[in-house]
């Protein structure tokens, strides 16, 4: 079979290398924060810092956003973060939303799953969007912060020195070499992290023998957007095949390489393209198609033991490698960025002790282990690592058509956001709550009418969060109780930004500050709240603590615990 490769429906802008003003071969400016790696995680970290008013310099070895097939699935939780970073509109305009998928055993459908979705939500549970689009949209948002985000393209790290006072990076560019000093460094430079290697930090965990070919193709099709999984399909017996539709008629196909196949031969177009054609024939896709990209992937479940090492933090694939089958790769990295950015900003501003950054490590390491547990289950089902696993999978697939109780084993994915159950920042409940997010959890979404001054407009609860702490005060009439005013005054005196946002049972009359009306009657019930209840929420949307009728002292103590863990 002879077929020419098609280009991606996207042309990346290219950026020149730039040498900054220097003194004795060093950048003339000592930076508060340096970020290495300009992918989704590095850009999200820079945007998160800029949102807090902190400048950063971002070091990227390439001259443009990525090429090829990488991350494609963005979760609702990531979309919530991206909305705070100012890039949501492009994600929703370009991305393809989906709510579920289908799995087939040979030629029989054995699972049709749906992810949590109801009319409380403003965002879809998942959006398919290629990583080159993800990076371009985040880059467009970053370019709006030119005074706070300095991107150095075609700049490669060639050396690293670090001590208790900061870091010094040796940098190489086509225009010349120089050194750069920074108080803090966030390493977001991917699975082959130069920073991690320079610090001789080992990843620990498991690497799987199963290999997958990843193929992107151009294909015009009206088929709906959903995840398709084929186990032992007639088109490729003994293999597992995954199919995802992407924007602009690009389709991502992942299929398992058979045991005993030569990897070098398996990835050659003359061996890949007939398998793709056989798959499309089986699916009933008769339209013309063209390949764009072919590569090979091997699943890893690896992590650093700690994500903070002195003045250096690790995030994304530089910190952990998660199997793609749990849809937690880029999504977990965006969560890392959301967590580290506000904590580092507060440390840089002098609001919090350095130890706040230890909570970044403990929270995100725990999250990685949870992500790895789901990703490992998915990987072991997709590519059984032993005869026993293969026997179990065959039994499950054979029973699933008629026995619903085993179908969840086919798709052990995680659809909900991570809860930091054991976070050192959490204030444990002192009362019994019949509902609502516990300390460490993210806020469940709920529609509300939001008032900015006198005008009420439809909105959602997560939109009430600001860049600092948010106290959600459940009230009768949208007025903050006087007994809590001392808490707000205390926070302002310490420099901590605090938004006290009332959520009222009744429609507010002539409101003079931002508030919300629970016009659907859902919020109080969802949050197990009554008049007087308060949720104290972190900048990343995780609950710090909750009280049915707190006094100013309880809330002040909770913030003190966060600033000085």
8 located within any domain: no
Choosing from 353, 377, 401, the residue where a domain stops is 377
Q: Judge if 171 and 62 occupy the same domain.
A: yes
**Res 3: pLDDT:** 55
In whole angstroms, how large is the CA radius of gyration of the chain?
A: 25
Q: Judge if 453 and 309 occupy the same domain.
A: no
Q: Judge if 41 and 158 occupy the same domain.
A: yes
**Res 78: pLDDT:** 96
Q: How many domains does the chain have?
A: 2
H/E run at residue 562: helix 552-563
| Residues near 117 by beta carbon (within 8 Å), at least 6 away in sequence | 99, 124, 125
The rounded distance, in Å, linking the Cα atoms of 71 and 39 is: 11
Report the side by side order of strands in the sheet with 515-517. Answer: 455-460, 447-452, 515-517, 498-504, 469-475, 534-537, 543-547
192 located within any domain: yes
Q: Judge if 67 and 194 occupy the same domain.
A: yes
Q: Judge if 349 and 457 occupy the same domain.
A: no
Strand, helix or coil at 18?
A: coil
The rounded distance, in Å, linking the Cα atoms of 108 and 30 is: 62
Alpha helix positions (H), 85-149 = 88-94, 131-143
| Residues near 12 by beta carbon (within 8 Å), at least 6 away in sequence | 64, 65, 67, 132, 136
**CA atoms in the 13 A half-sphere facing the CB of 133:** 25
Give me 510's structure tokens: 């002539």
75 located within any domain: yes
pTM of the model: 0.95
| Strand-pair partners of 308 | 313
11 located within any domain: no
Q: Judge if 139 and 39 occupy the same domain.
A: yes
544 located within any domain: yes
88 located within any domain: yes
Choosing from 377, 412, 436, the residue where a domain stops is 377
Q: Judge if 372 and 460 occupy the same domain.
A: no
CATH assignment at residue 534? 3.40.30.120
86 located within any domain: yes
**Spatial contact of 9 and 147, defined as CB atoms under 8 Å apart:** no
Q: Judge if 324 and 464 occupy the same domain.
A: no
Range of the domain at 370: 30-96+124-204+303-377
**Spatial contact of 374 and 321, defined as CB atoms under 8 Å apart:** no
Choosing from 377, 395, 416, the residue where a domain stops is 377
CATH assignment at residue 184? 3.50.50.60
Give me 34's structure tokens: 């340096």
H/E run at residue 498: strand 498-504
457 located within any domain: yes
Q: Judge if 373 and 466 occupy the same domain.
A: no
pLDDT along the chain (565 residues), means of 10: 72 92 93 98 98 98 90 93 97 94 91 86 94 96 96 98 97 96 98 97 86 92 93 88 94 87 89 95 94 89 96 97 75 97 98 97 96 77 77 82 77 74 96 96 96 87 95 92 84 89 90 89 96 97 97 93 92
The rounded distance, in Å, linking the Cα atoms of 397 and 238 is: 13
Q: Judge if 373 and 462 occupy the same domain.
A: no
Q: Judge if 173 and 84 occupy the same domain.
A: yes
Q: Judge if 455 and 352 occupy the same domain.
A: no
């Amino acid at each position: 079979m002879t077929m020419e490769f098609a280009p991606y429906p996207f042309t990346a802008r290219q950026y020149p290398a730039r040498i900054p003003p220097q003194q004795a071969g060093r950048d003339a400016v000592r930076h508060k924060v340096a970020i290495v790696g300009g992918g989704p995680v590095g850009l999200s970290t820079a945007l998160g810092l800029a949102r807090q008013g902190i400048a950063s310099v971002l070091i990227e070895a390439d001259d443009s956003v990525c090429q090829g097939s990488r991350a494609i699935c963005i979760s609702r939780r990531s979309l919530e973060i991206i909305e705070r970073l100012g890039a949501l509109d492009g994600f929703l305009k370009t991305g393809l939303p989906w709510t579920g998928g289908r799995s087939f055993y040979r030629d029989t459908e054995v699972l049709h799953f749906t992810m949590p979705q109801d009319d409380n939500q403003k965002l879809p549970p998942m959006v398919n969007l290629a990583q080159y689009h993800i990076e371009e949209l985040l880059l467009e948002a970053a370019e709006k912060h030119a005074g706070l985000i300095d991107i150095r393209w075609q700049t490669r790290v060639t050396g690293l020195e670090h001590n208790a006072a900061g870091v010094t990076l040796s940098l190489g560019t086509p225009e010349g070499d120089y050194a750069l000093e920074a108080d803090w460094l966030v390493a977001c430079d991917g699975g082959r992290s130069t920073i991690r290697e320079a610090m001789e930090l080992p990843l620990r965990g498991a690497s799987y023998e199963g290999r997958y070919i990843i193929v992107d193709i151009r294909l015009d099709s009206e088929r709906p957007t959903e995840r398709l999984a084929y186990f032992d399909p007639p088109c490729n017996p003994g293999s597992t095949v995954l199919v995802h539709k992407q924007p602009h008629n690009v389709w991502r196909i992942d299929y398992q390489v058979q045991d005993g196949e030569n990897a070098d031969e398996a990835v050659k177009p003359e061996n890949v393209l007939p398998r793709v054609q056989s798959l499309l024939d089986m699916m009933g896709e008769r339209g013309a198609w063209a390949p764009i990209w072919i590569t090979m992937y091997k699943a890893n479940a690896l992590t650093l033991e700690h994500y903070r090492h002195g003045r250096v933090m690790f995030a994304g694939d530089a910190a952990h490698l998660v199997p793609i089958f749990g849809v937690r790769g880029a999504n977990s990295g965006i969560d890392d960025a959301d967590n580290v950015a506000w904590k580092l900003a507060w440390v840089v501003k002098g609001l919090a002790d350095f130890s706040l950054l230890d909570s970044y490590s403990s929270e995100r390491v725990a999250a990685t282990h949870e992500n790895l547990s789901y990703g490992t289950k998915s990987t072991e089902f997709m590519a059984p690592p032993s005869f026993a696993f293969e026997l179990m999978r065959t039994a499950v697939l054979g029973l699933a058509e008629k026995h619903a109780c085993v179908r969840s084993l086919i798709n052990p994915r995680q659809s909900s956001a991570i809860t930091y159950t054991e976070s050192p920042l959490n204030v444990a409940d002192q009362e019994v709550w019949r509902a609502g997010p516990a300390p460490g959890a993210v806020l469940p979404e709920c529609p509300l009418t939001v008032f900015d001054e006198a005008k009420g407009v439809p909105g959602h609860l997560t939109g009430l969060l600001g860049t600092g702490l948010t106290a959600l005060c459940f009230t009768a009439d949208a007025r903050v109780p006087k007994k809590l005013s001392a808490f707000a005054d205390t926070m302002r005196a310490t420099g901590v930004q605090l938004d006290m946002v009332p959520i009222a049972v009744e429609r507010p009359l002539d409101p003079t500050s931002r508030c919300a009306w629970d016009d659907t009657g859902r919020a109080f019930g969802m949050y197990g709240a009554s008049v007087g209840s308060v949720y104290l929420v972190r900048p990343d949307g995780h609950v710090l603590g909750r009280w049915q009728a707190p006094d100013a002292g309880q809330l002040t103590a909770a913030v003190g615990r966060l600033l000085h863990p």
